[in-house]
C-alpha cells in the first residue's frame, strides 16, 4: 500500500440490516477503492499467505491518516466489516451478549473463509468500542480494546506502553525481536492574542456623510466579525523509532516536538462565523416573506388626503386635460425630502418617520445625483455605453442574473434598501425609502424630468421587471417632454431635435380643414382600424407644421395618380430615399417621419402575446391578429402618404418591403431594355391586409396622428404599479440585483486573495444563479441555496485572510519564502492536514513555533507587559540551541493528544509458531485513554 | 387532452422578409402550401403537438415578420424562447448575407444563453439557387446551430427541421424543465465534523 493512499484514495461503504436474536443490526462493509491491484491480489493468494489485513497491521505508510474511519486509524486496515446495533440508541452492553456475538462472528468467519476482519461494536456508540477478529489459513488476529476515562500513570509514556505491549504478546522468545514505534503528539493553539481578528463591525452613526469602514451606500460590506479560524492543531510525528533509541518515561523524555522529524498542521474553522455580506443578503431575503403593505408599515397612505388617490387611474387621467404643471427647474433634494417628510409627518402626527432626514438625504442624493446639480439631466442618461466598465464580463452579469446594470438606478436602489434594512430601521426604513422613491418618480413624471441611471430606449427585457418599469416611465417622460416642448415652441421656428433629418425648417401651415376633405374622400372605412388605440384626443406630437414645401412638386399628377392626393402639400418628410422616385410622377420618394413603436415591459408583452395567442390558429384568428398589430403599419402608411402626395402602394412597398416589388428587365416596343416592376404575388392578392390598410390610410403626418403609444396612460400604470408594491414584492424584484452585487463583491474580494478553489466556486455560483433567477418565480429553497453558497465563499475568504494575518505572509520579505508560505496557507484551507516542510526548522515551522511560544508566555505569565513583548525578542531570548532544546518543552502546552503505534512480528502462541504481525495503538487525550490491540496467533501449530 | 404532453416549448421563426417563414410553418402545422399567403404583420402564432422519441411536446410557434419596420416590435418575442428557427432563401444570397444581423439580434434580445438554434435554407425546389448547401452548413457549424435545407412547397425537410430542433431542446434539460431539482452543482462544502457520535466518516484524535 503506497504512502498516503488512505487519504488520497476513495473510501466506500455498503450497508445492510440483519436481525439476530431479536435485535436489529446494521452490517457495513468499508473498503478503500483500489485501482488495478487485481494482479497483485492474485499473486498474493498463495496457499500460506496471511490475509491482507494482517499484513496491513505492520505497514507504516499510512499511519495517522488525516481523515479516516477510526478503525483505519487504529489498525491500519484497508477493508473491514462492522456489525453495530441498527438503532442509534441501542447498545450491546452485557458481557454475555458480547461473547455470544463474538463467537458467532468467529464461526461465521471460519465457515465462510472470509479473510476480511469483522468487528462488533459494543457498549454505547459514543465510546467507539469495537471487538473483532480476522481469520486466515491457520492464522487468526484478535482485535481488542480498552477504553478508560482516566489513564493509569504508567500508560502516559512510552516505556509503560512498551511494557504492556510485550506482556500482551506474551512472546516466548528471548530476546524479543525489536519493536518499531511511531509517535505523534498533537498540540492545540487556541490563543491567537497577538493576532486578534482585526475586523470591527462598522460604525453606523458615522456612516452618513461618507465612507466609514468600507461602508457606504452603494457598496456591500464584507468579512467576518469574529475570527473564522478557531484553533490550530500541530501534529509532531516520529514516524519510525526503534526501541532503545529514545527515552520517554515518567521522569524524562527525549520527545521534544521541535526535534520531531515530521510536522503537520490542521486548522479548525469556526462554525458559521458571523460574516457581514452574508448577513446583509440574508436579512434582505427575509423581507421577501413579510406580508405587510407599505401603508400598513408606515401608517395610512400619504397620498389619500391630498385628494390624489393614485390607485385610481381614471381620476389621474382626467387630470391630464388640465394644463401641465409648471416645471420646477431646480431640483433640490432637501426640498424634496422636506416636502415628503412633511406629508408623512402630517399623517403620523408627532411620530418621527422611520428614516432620519440625514440618512434619507444622503440616499436620495446618491440615487438621484442630478438633483444636486444646477440643471437637471437633459436627454442623455448616465448609463451610456461609451464608457464601459473595464470588466465587460462583470458588467454584463445582469444579463445572466436578470438583475440590472451595476451602474443603474435600480441596482443602487437595491443596495440602499439592503443597507437600510440592516442598519436604518429595518422594514420600516425600507417602506419609507420606497415611498419616497415612488413620490420622486411621480414628481419626475409630472415635471418632465428624466430619471437618471437608466439606459435610454425601450425597456431592456434582460433586466428585472422593476428596472423595465422605470425605463418605461422614462420613455413616457421623454415623449411627454418632447410633446410639451413642442407645444411651447409652436409659435417660434424651433424644431425639437428628435428628428435630425427633417427636411425643412419653416413653411406653410396645413390646417386640419384641408385634411377633412380627404377624409370625406376616403369615406369612413377607417373606423375599424381605430380599435387598437383608444385615446382619440391625443396626438403623437402637437407640433405646428414647420416644414418647408418643395416648391417644384406641384405641377404633377399628369400620370394618372389620384389628383386630389397629388395636389396636397407634402408633410412630415424625414429624408429623401436614395434615388427612388414616385411611379406616377417621377418625384423623389421621401421617407416620412414615423411614430416610434410602443415600448413594452415584459408583463405587458406577456399580456399582449396572450391576447394574440388566444385568437387561436384559425384563419379568422390569424386575420384578427394581423389587424390588431397593424396600427403601426397603418400609421406608417398614413405618414408615407402625407410625405408623398399622390403615391401608390407600389411606392410604399418599395420603401417598406423592397423584396415585394419585383423588377424585371423587359424590352419595350422600341427595342430598349427597360425595368418593369410589379408587386409580388402575395401583395397582389385582392383584399389582403396590406391592400386593405393602404386603402384605409389617410395622408396624415405622424405628428397629427393618434398616438400609438399613450404615454400618459402607461406612465400612470407604472406609477400605480410602483405604489402598490409591498416591501416583500420589492425585495423579490430586487433580490437578483442584491445577489448580483454580492457575487461582484466576493469576486472582488477573492481577486485580492487569489484562492483558486474559490474562483471555481464563484463560477459555479454564477451559472447556478443564472439558471435559478431566469425563471419567473424562483423557489425560496433555491434562492437560499445561492445565498448559502455566497456565505460559504465569504467565510472561506475570511479564513484565508485570518490565516495570512496569523502567518504574516505579508510581512515576509524574501520572495521565495513568501510564495512558500502563501502556498502553505492556501493548502491549510483546502486540505484536511498539511505537512510542514522542514518541520520545526522550516520557515512555516518557525512561525508556528513562535505562535505557540507567544501563547505559552501569555498563559504562564500573569504580567500583562510581558505578554506584549514582540515575538522577535522571544526567540532571541531563548539563546543557544542547547538551551532552547530544554526550553522548548515549555514552548508548547502539554500535548492534547498522544498517539503511539507499537508493532512487531513474533511467533505466537508457541516459540515454534509462525511469526505474525502484532500491533498496539494507544491514544491519550484529556478526556480519555484508549488502547487498541491486534494480536495474531498461529492456529495450526501450537 | 394534454395530459401526456411533456412540456410546452416556445419556438420562434425569424429571417428576412419573403424567405418563406410563414410558408414553412404552414407546411409544418397544416401540411399545405398556400402561394397566396400574405406578408406577415407583426407576429403570427400557431400551435402543434409533436412526438419526439416518445416524448410529446406542445409547440407554441411564433412566426415573426421579417420586414424591417416590424423588427422593432418582434425582439420582444425572443423572450423565453427555447428554440429559434432562422430561415434564409437559397435563391437569394442577400437573405443569407443578412444572417449575421439576425444572429446579432438573437444575442442581444434572447434572455437565455442555452437556446437551441436551427438554420434552415428554404426554397430548394427552385432552380436559380444562389447559396450552396455547404455554405449554409459551414455557417451553421461556425455558430453551433443545427442545419437543414428545406422546401415549404415540396415539403422537403420541413418536418425534420422541427423535429430535430425539439429533440435537441429536450436533450438540453435546463431549457425545458422549469423545476430542475437537484440538477445544479452541489457547492456547499460539507464541513468536517469533529468526532460526532459513532464513527461514521472522518475521525481524528481530537
Ligand atoms: N418555390 C417556393 N416558394 C416558396 C417557398 N416557401 C415560400 N415560398 C414563397 O415565397 C414567398 C414568401 O413566403 P412567406 O412564407 O410569406 O415568407 P415570410 O418569410 O413569411 O415573409 P414575411 O412574413 O414578410 O417575413 C411566398 O410567395 C411563398 O409562396 C418554397 O419552399 N418554394
Ligand atoms: Mg410571414
**Grid cell of A423 as nine digits:** 442598519
Tell me how far apart the alpha carbons of residues B9 and B12 are, in angstroms, rounded to a whole number. Answer: 10
Radius of gyration of chain B (CA): 22
Nearest residue on chain B to A63, alpha-carbon basis:
B204
Nearest to B203 among A70, A400, A765 (CB): A70
| Model confidence at A529: pLDDT above 50 | no
Instruction: Please report the ipTM that was assigned to this predicted complex.
Output: 0.81
Cβ A266–B204 below 8 Å, yes or no? yes
Tell me the C-alpha distance between A816 and A150, whole Å: 48
- pLDDT higher than threshold 50 for residue A42: no
Residue by residue, DSSP assigns A565-589 as HHTSPP--EEEEEEEEE-TTT-PEE
| Buried/exposed A571-584: b ≥16 CB within 10 Å, e otherwise | bbbbbebeeeebbb
Per-residue pLDDT band at A651 (split at 50, 70, 90): very high
What is the average pLDDT across A666-681? Answer: 82
Collect all residues of chain B within an 8 Å Cβ-Cβ radius of residue A126: 197-198
Which of B89, B152, B155, B159 best tests ligand 1's pocket when mutated (most atoms within 8 Å of CB)?
B152
% pLDDT > 90, chain A: 15
Task: Give the per-residue pLDDT at A617.
Answer: 83
C-alpha cell at position A358 = 440625514
For testing the chain B interface, which of A659, A683, A684, A764 should be mutated: the one with the most B CBs within 10 Å? A659
Between residues A49 and A309, the one the model is more confident about: A49
Which pLDDT score, from 0 to 100, does residue A366 have?
Answer: 85
Rounded to the nearest angstrom, the gap between the alpha carbon of residue A88 and the centroid of all alpha carbons in its chain is 38
**CA angle A792-A797-A801, nearest 5°?**
145
Q: What is the pTM of this model?
A: 0.72
- Amino acid A859: pLDDT: 66
Put simply, the answer to whether B41 touches A233 (Cβ < 8 Å) is no
| pLDDT, average across residues A826-830 | 83
Q: Do B36 and A67 touch (CB under 8 A)?
A: no
- Segment A838-887, tens digit of pLDDT: 888 888 888 888 888 877 777 665 444 444 444 444 444 444 444 444 44
Cα separation, A373 vs B156, whole angstroms: 65
Point out which residues pair with A663 in neighbouring strands: A677
- The two beta strands, A229-242 and A262-269, are antiparallel
Per-residue confidence (pLDDT) for residue A138, from 0 to 100: 86
- Give the number of the atom of ligand 1 that is nearest the alpha carbon of residue B151: 31
Q: Which atom of ligand 1 is nearest to the CA of B38?
A: 16
Q: Is the pLDDT of residue A402 over 60?
A: yes
Cell 425601450 belongs to which residue? A458
Interacting residues of A429 by C-beta distance below 8 A, sequence separation 6+: A354, A355, A420, A421
The mean pLDDT of A721-735, rounded to a whole number, is: 91
Pocket around ligand 1 at a 6 A CB cut-off: A 681-682; B 17-23, 35, 37, 39-40, 65-67, 122-123, 125-126, 151-153
Cα of A33 vs centre of ligand 2, distance in Å, is: 62
Nearest of B86, B83, B43, B46 to residue B67 by alpha carbon: B43
CB B120 within 8 A of CB B25: no
Half-sphere exposure at residue B144, Cβ-oriented, CA atoms within 13 angstroms? 5
**Confidence category of residue A9, pLDDT binned at 50, 70, 90:** confident
Residues of A in contact with B18 (CB under 8 A): 657, 659-660, 680
A754: left (phi over 0), alpha (psi -120 to 50) or beta: left
B1 touches chain A (CB under 8 A): no
Phi, psi angles (nearest 5°) of residue A775: -85, 145
**Contact at 8 Å (CB) between A710 and A535?**
yes
* Cβ distance of B204 and A67 shorter than 8 Å: yes
**B43/A925 Cβ within 8 A:** no
Residue A717 has pLDDT above 70, yes or no: yes
A165-200 per-position pLDDT tens digit? 888 888 777 777 888 999 999 888 886 655 545 554
- Cβ–Cβ contact B58 with A under 8 A: no
Q: A182 near A63, Cβ under 8 Å?
A: yes
Give, using CA atoms, the residue closest to atom 30 of ligand 1.
Answer: B123
Residue A325 pLDDT greater than 60, yes or no:
no
Query: Contact, A809 vs A822, CB < 8 A?
Result: yes
- Is A323 or A286 the better-scoring residue by pLDDT? A286
Subunit contact A128:B199, Cβ cutoff 8 A: yes
CB contact under 8 A, B67 and A657: yes
Of A609, A633, A925, Cβ closest to residue B206: A925
Among A364-378, A620-634, A863-877, name the most confident range.
Answer: A620-634
What is d(CA A71, CA A119) in angstroms, rounded to the nearest whole number?
A: 9
DSSP 8-class letter at A123: B
A660 to B70: CB separation less than 8 angstroms, yes or no: no
Least confident of A47-56, A237-246, A252-261: A47-56
Of A128, A600, A923, the CB nearest to B76: A600
Task: Enumerate the residues of chain A whose CB falls inside 8 A of the CB of residue B192.
Answer: 67, 832
> How many Å lie between the centroid of ligand 1 and the Cα of residue B154?
12
Distance CA A27, CA A84 (A): 7
* Integer Cα distance of A921 and A931 in angstroms: 6
Interface test with A, best of B62, B108, B187, B194 (most A CBs within 10 A): B187
Dist CA A380 CA A452 (whole Å):
9
Q: What's the CA-to-centroid distance between B19 and ligand 1, angstroms?
A: 5
The nearest alpha carbon in chain B to A661 belongs to B18
* Cβ count near A382 (within 10 Å): 15
Give the C-alpha distances (Å, rounded to integers) separating A42 from A46, A53, A117, A540. Answer: 8, 15, 19, 90
Q: What gap in Å lies between CA B59 and CA B47, rounded to an integer?
A: 6
Whole-angstrom distance, CA of residue A51 vs CA of residue A117: 9
| 3-class SS of residue B179 | coil
Scanning A9-114, the segments in alpha helix (DSSP H) are 38-44, 52-58, 70-75, 95-112
Mean pLDDT of chain B: 80
| Ligand in closest contact with the CA of B17 | 1
pLDDT tens-digit series, residues B173-195: 666 654 333 333 333 333 333 33
Max avg pLDDT among A300-309, A569-578, A733-742, A801-810: A733-742
Name which of A137-151, A490-504, A681-695 the model is least confident about: A490-504
Is residue B89 very low, low, confident or very high in pLDDT (cuts 50, 70, 90)?
very high
pLDDT at residue A35 in the model: 67
Q: Which of B73, B194, B206 sits opposite A632 (nearest CB)?
A: B73
Residue A444 Cα to ligand 1 middle (Å): 48
| Contacts of B202-205 spanning 24+ positions with Cβ under 8 A | B202/A67, B202/A68, B202/A832, B203/A68, B203/A69, B203/A70, B203/A73, B204/A66, B204/A67, B204/A73, B204/A266, B205/A184, B205/A186, B205/A897, B205/A899, B205/A923, B205/A925
- The pLDDT-based confidence of B121 (bands split at 50, 70, 90) is very high
The pLDDT assigned to A636 comes to: 92
B182 has a chain A CB within 8 A of its CB:
no
Measure the CA–CA gap between B15 and B131, rounded to whole angstroms: 15
**Which contiguous run of DSSP H or E holds residue B10?**
strand B5-15
Å from CA of B20 to ligand 2 middle? 7
A745 closest CA partner among A423, A415, A427, A422: A415
Confidence class for position A806, pLDDT limits 50, 70, 90: confident
Residues A267-292 have a mean pLDDT of 85
Distance from CA of A94 to the nearest CA of B (A): 19
Average pLDDT for chain A: 75
Looking up cell 444575442 gives B107
From residue A474, give the alpha-carbon distance in Å to each of A59, A327, A379, A381, A451.
76, 16, 10, 10, 6
Top mean pLDDT of A295-304, A312-321, A370-379, A915-924 is at A915-924
pLDDT tens-place string over residues A97-109: 888 888 888 888 8
For residue B140, give the DSSP letter. Answer: H
Answer yes or no: are the C-beta atoms of B173 and B183 closer than 8 Å: yes
d(CA B196, nearest CA chain A) in Å: 8
Q: Enter the C-alpha cell of residue B104.
A: 446579432
Cβ–Cβ under 8 Å, residues A145 and A930: yes
A415 burial level (CB within 10 Å; 0-12, 13-18, 19+): buried
Residue A572, pLDDT above cutoff 90: no
Which atom of ligand 1 has the smallest separation from the CA of A660?
A: 24
Which of B12, B37, B149 is the best mutation target for the ligand 1 pocket, counting ligand atoms within 8 Å of the beta carbon and taking the most?
Answer: B37
CA-wise closest residue to A903 among A867, A865, A933, A931: A933
Q: What is the mean pLDDT of residues B63-67?
A: 91
Whether residue A909 has a cis bond before it, omega within 30° of 0: yes
User: Which residue puts its alpha carbon closest to atom 8 of ligand 1?
Assistant: B20
Instruction: Measure the CA–CA gap between A917 and A900, rounded to whole angstroms.
Output: 16
Q: Residue A410 has which C-alpha cell?
A: 435600480
Selected residue with higher pLDDT from A397 and A385: A397
Fold of B5-173: Rossmann fold (3.40.50)
Q: Tell me which of A622, A629, A682 to substitute to probe ligand 1's pocket, judged by most ligand atoms within 8 Å of the beta carbon.
A: A682
What angle is formed at CA A928 by the lines to CA A925 and CA A930, rounded to 5 degrees?
Answer: 95
In the reported structure, the alpha carbon of residue A617 is separated from the centroid of ligand 1 by a whole-number distance in angstroms of 19
DSSP of A291-306: ---HHHHHSS-TTGGG
Q: What is the pLDDT of residue A909?
A: 81
Q: Is the pLDDT of residue A33 over 60?
A: yes
Shortest CA distance to A83 belongs to which of A21, A33, A37?
Answer: A21
Q: What is the CA radius of gyration of chain A?
A: 43
Domain ranges of chain B: 5-173
Contacts of A772 in chain B (CB under 8 A): 184
Cell triple for B101: 444581423
Is the torsion defined by CA of A747, A749, A754, A758 positive or negative?
negative
Type and span of the H or E element at B25: helix B21-30
- Cα gap B24→A300, rounded to integer Å: 59
Q: Which three cell numbers stand for residue A391?
A: 470588466
Name the nearest CA neighbour of A734 among A434, A482, A505, A413.
Answer: A413
| A49 vs A207, residue with greater confidence | A49
Q: Is the pLDDT of residue B45 over 60?
A: yes
Amino acid at each position: 500500500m503506497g504512502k498516503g493512499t488512505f487519504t488520497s484514495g476513495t473510501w466506500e461503504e455498503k450497508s445492510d440490516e440483519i436481525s439476530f436474536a431479536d435485535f436489529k443490526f446494521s452490517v457495513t462493509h468499508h473498503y478503500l477503492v483500489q485501482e488495478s491491484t487485481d494482479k497483485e491480489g492474485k499473486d498474493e493468494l498463495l496457499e500460506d499467505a496471511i490475509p491482507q489485513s494482517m499484513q496491513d497491521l505492520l505497514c507504516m505508510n499510512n499511519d495517522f491518516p488525516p481523515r479516516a474511519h477510526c478503525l483505519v486509524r487504529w489498525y491500519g486496515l484497508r477493508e473491514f466489516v462492522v456489525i453495530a446495533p441498527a438503532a442509534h440508541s441501542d447498545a450491546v452492553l452485557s458481557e454475555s451478549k458480547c461473547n455470544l456475538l463474538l463467537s458467532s462472528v468467529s464461526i461465521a468467519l471460519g465457515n465462510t473463509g472470509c479473510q476480511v476482519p469483522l468487528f462488533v461494536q459494543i457498549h454505547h456508540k459514543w465510546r467507539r468500542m469495537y471487538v473483532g477478529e480476522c481469520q486466515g489459513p491457520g492464522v487468526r488476529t484478535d482485535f481488542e480494546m480498552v477504553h478508560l476515562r482516566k489513564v493509569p500513570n504508567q500508560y502516559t509514556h512510552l516505556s509503560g506502553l512498551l511494557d504492556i505491549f510485550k506482556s500482551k504478546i506474551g512472546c516466548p522468545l528471548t530476546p524479543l525481536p525489536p519493536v518499531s514505534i511511531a509517535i505523534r503528539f498533537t498540540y492545540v493553539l487556541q490563543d491567537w492574542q497577538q493576532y486578534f481578528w482585526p475586523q470591527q463591525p462598522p460604525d453606523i452613526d458615522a456612516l452618513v456623510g461618507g465612507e466609514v469602514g468600507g461602508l457606504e451606500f452603494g457598496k456591500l460590506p464584507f468579512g467576518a466579525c469574529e475570527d473564522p479560524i478557531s484553533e490550530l492543531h500541530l501534529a509532531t510525528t516520529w514516524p519510525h523509532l526503534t526501541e532503545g533509541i529514545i527515552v520517554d518515561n515518567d521522569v524524562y523524555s527525549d520527545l521534544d516536538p521541535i526535534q520531531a522529524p515530521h510536522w503537520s498542521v490542521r486548522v479548525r474553522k469556526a462554525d458559521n462565523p458571523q460574516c457581514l455580506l452574508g448577513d446583509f443578503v440574508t436579512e434582505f431575503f427575509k423581507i421577501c416573506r413579510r406580508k405587510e403593505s407599505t401603508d400598513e408599515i408606515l401608517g395610512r397612505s400619504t397620498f389619500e388626503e391630498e385628494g390624489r388617490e393614485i390607485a385610481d387611474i381614471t381620476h389621474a387621467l382626467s387630470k391630464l386635460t388640465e394644463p401641465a404643471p409648471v416645471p420646477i427647474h431646480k431640483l433640490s433634494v432637501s426640498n424634496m425630502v422636506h416636502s415628503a417628510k412633511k406629508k408623512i409627518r402630517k399623517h403620523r402626527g408627532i411620530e418621527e418617520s422611520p428614516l432620519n432626514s440625514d440618512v434619507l438625504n444622503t440616499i436620495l442624493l446618491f440615487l438621484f445625483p442630478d438633483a444636486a446639480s444646477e440643471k437637471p439631466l437633459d436627454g442623455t442618461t448616465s448609463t451610456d455605453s461609451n464608457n464601459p466598465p473595464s470588466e465587460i464580463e462583470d458588467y454584463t452579469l445582469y444579463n445572466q442574473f436578470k438583475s440590472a446594470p451595476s451602474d443603474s438606478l435600480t441596482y443602487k436602489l437595491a443596495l440602499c434598501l439592503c443597507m437600510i434594512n440592516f442598519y436604518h430601521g429595518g422594514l420600516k426604513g425600507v417602506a419609507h425609502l420606497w415611498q419616497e422613491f415612488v413620490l420622486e418618480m411621480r414628481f419626475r413624471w409630472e415635471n418632465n424630468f428624466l430619471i437618471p441611471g437608466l439606459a435610454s430606449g425601450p425597456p431592456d427585457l434582460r433586466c428585472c421587471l422593476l428596472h423595465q418599469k422605470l425605463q418605461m416611465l422614462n420613455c413616457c417622460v421623454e415623449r411627454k417632454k418632447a410633446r410639451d416642448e413642442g407645444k411651447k415652441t409652436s409659435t417660434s421656428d424651433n424644431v425639437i431635435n428628435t428628428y435630425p433629418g427633417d427636411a425643412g425648417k419653416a413653411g406653410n401651415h396645413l390646417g386640419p380643414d384641408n385634411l377633412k376633405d380627404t377624409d370625406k374622400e376616403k369615406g369612413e372605412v377607417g373606423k375599424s382600424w381605430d380599435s387598437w388605440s383608444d385615446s382619440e384626443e391625443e396626438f403623437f406630437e402637437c407640433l405646428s407644421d414647420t416644414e418647408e414645401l418643395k416648391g417644384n412638386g406641384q405641377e404633377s399628377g399628369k400620370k394618372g395618380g389620384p389628383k386630389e392626393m397629388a395636389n396636397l402639400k407634402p408633410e412630415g418628410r424625414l429624408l429623401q430615399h436614395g434615388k427612388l422616385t414616385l411611379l406616377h410622377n417621377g418625384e423623389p420618394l421621401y421617407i416620412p417621419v414615423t411614430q416610434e413603436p410602443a415600448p413594452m415591459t415584459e408583463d405587458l408583452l406577456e399580456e399582449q402575446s396572450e391576447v394574440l395567442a388566444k385568437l387561436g390558429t384559425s384563419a379568422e384568428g390569424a386575420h384578427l391578429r394581423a389587424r390588431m398589430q397593424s396600427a403601426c403599419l397603418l400609421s406608417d402608411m398614413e405618414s408615407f402618404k402625407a410625405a408623398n402626395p399622390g403615391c401608390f402602394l407600389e411606392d410604399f412597398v418599395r420603401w417598406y418591403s423592397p423584396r415585394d416589388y419585383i423588377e424585371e428587365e423587359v424590352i419595350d416596343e422600341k427595342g430598349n431594355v427597360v425595368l418593369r416592376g410589379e408587386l409580388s404575388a402575395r401583395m397582389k392578392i385582392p383584399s389582403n391586409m396590406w391592400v386593405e390598410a393602404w386603402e384605409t390610410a389617410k395622408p396624415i403626418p405622424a405628428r397629427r396622428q393618434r398616438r400609438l403609444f399613450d404615454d400618459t396612460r402607461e406612465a400612470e400604470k407604472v406609477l400605480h404599479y410602483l405604489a402598490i408594491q409591498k416591501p416583500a414584492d420589492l425585495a423579490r424584484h430586487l433580490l437578483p440585483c442584491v445577489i448580483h452585487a454580492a457575487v461582484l463583491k466576493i469576486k472582488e474580494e477573492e481577486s485580492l486573495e487569489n484562492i483558486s478553489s474559490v474562483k471555481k466556486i464563484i463560477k459555479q455560483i454564477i451559472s447556478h444563479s443564472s439558471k435559478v433567477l431566469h425563471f419567473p418565480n424562483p423557489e425560496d429553497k433555491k434562492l437560499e441555496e445561492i445565498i448559502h453558497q455566497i456565505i460559504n465563499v465569504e467565510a472561506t475568504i475570511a479564513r484565508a485572510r485570518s490565516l495570512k494575518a496569523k502567518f504574516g505572509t505579508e510581512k515576509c520579505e524574501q520572495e521565495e519564502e513568501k510564495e512558500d508560505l502563501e502556498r502553505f496557507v492556501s493548502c491549510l484551507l483546502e486540505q484536511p492536514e498539511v505537512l510542514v516542510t522542514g518541520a520545526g526548522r522550516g520557515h512555516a515551522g518557525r512561525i508556528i513555533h513562535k505562535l505557540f511560544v507567544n501563547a505559552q508566555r501569555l498563559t504562564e505569565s500573569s504580567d500583562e507587559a510581558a505578554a506584549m513583548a514582540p515575538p522577535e525578542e522571544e526567540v532571541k531570548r531563548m539563546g543557544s540551541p542547547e538551551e532552547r532544546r530544554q526550553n522548548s518543552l515549555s514552548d508548547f502546552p502539554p500535548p492534547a493528544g498522544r498517539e503511539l503505534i507499537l508493532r512487531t512480528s513474533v511467533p505466537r502462541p508457541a516459540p515454534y509458531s509462525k511469526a505474525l504481525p502484532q500491533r498496539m495503538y494507544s491514544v491519550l487525550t484529556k478526556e480519555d485513554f484508549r488502547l487498541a490491540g491486534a494480536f495474531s496467533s498461529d492456529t495450526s501449530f501450537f | 387532452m394534454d395530459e401526456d404532453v411533456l412540456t410546452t416549448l416556445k419556438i420562434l421563426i425569424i429571417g428576412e422578409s419573403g424567405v418563406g417563414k410563414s410558408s414553412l410553418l404552414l407546411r409544418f402545422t397544416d401540411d399545405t402550401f398556400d402561394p397566396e399567403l400574405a406578408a406577415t404583420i407583426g407576429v403570427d402564432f400557431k400551435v402543434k403537438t409533436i412526438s419526439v422519441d416518445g416524448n410529446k411536446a406542445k409547440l407554441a410557434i411564433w412566426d415573426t415578420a421579417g420586414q424591417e419596420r416590424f423588427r422593432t416590435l418582434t425582439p420582444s418575442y425572443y423572450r423565453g424562447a427555447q428554440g429559434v428557427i432562422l430561415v434564409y432563401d437559397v435563391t437569394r444570397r442577400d437573405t443569407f448575407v443578412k444572417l449575421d444581423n439576425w444572429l446579432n439580434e438573437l444575442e442581444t434580445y434572447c434572455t437565455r444563453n442555452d437556446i437551441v438554434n436551427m438554420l434552415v435554407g428554404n426554397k430548394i425546389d427552385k432552380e436559380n439557387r444562389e447559396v450552396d448547401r455547404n455554405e449554409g452548413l459551414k455557417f451553421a457549424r461556425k455558430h453551433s446551430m443545427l442545419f437543414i435545407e428545406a422546401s415549404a412547397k415540396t415539403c422537403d425537410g420541413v418536418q425534420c427541421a422541427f423535429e430535430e430542433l425539439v429533440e435537441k431542446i429536450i436533450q438540453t434539460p435546463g431549457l425545458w424543465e422549469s423545476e430542475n431539482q437537484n440538477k445544479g452543482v452541489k457547492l456547499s462544502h460539507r464541513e468536517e465534523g469533529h468526532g460526532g457520535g459513532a464513527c461514521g466518516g472522518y475521525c481524528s484524535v481530537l
